[in-house]
Amino acid sequence: MLVAVLVAGCETNDIGKECAGMSIPTQSGATSEGDVFRAQGSEAVEYDTAFPCADIVCVATLGTKPYCSRECATDRNCPLAFECKTVMTYGPFAERQYCVWRTCERDQDCGDPWTIACKEVPELSLNVPFKVCGWR
């Protein structure tokens, strides 16, 4: 019984919590939509003990602000509204997988409809609508 309590106490429930301290490099540019800022690569991973995350890792994925995450091997290692995916294909964290907000088509794809919704996100580098789960 004590082992189960200790294991449960080690679970991190902060996946998806905003990482205000992580900065994403951007480039400005004028387009037909007006002056915009586009994320360079749009996807990034950063480890920092100053982050408000139990696993000290933040990720930024398409159309999202940086948020707490953790490394994973399969989707089962992540909360329901998240999937286990490679975030970066080059650099020090290349090919490592992290829990990232799940791509979706409707709210039911995301789990708890009271706290999480399927939202279209602004991602100017794509020419098609892009939806991911996120906090309401």
Phi-psi region of 95 (alpha: psi -120 to 50; beta: other; left: phi over 0): left
Bridge partners for 97 per DSSP = 86
Question: Is residue 8 a part of any domain in this protein?
Answer: no
pTM, 2 dp: 0.76
CA distance 129 to 102: 15
Domain count, the chain: 1
For tokens 């106490």, what's the residue?
Answer: 9
* Domain with 73 in it: 14-22+34-135
* Burial of 31 from C-beta contacts in 10 A (0-12 / 13-18 / 19+): exposed
Question: Is residue 121 a part of any domain in this protein?
Answer: yes
Question: Is residue 29 a part of any domain in this protein?
Answer: no
Give pLDDT tens digits for 5-25: 333 344 457 999 999 878 765
Task: Indicate whether 35 pLDDT > 60.
Answer: no
Question: Is residue 4 a part of any domain in this protein?
Answer: no
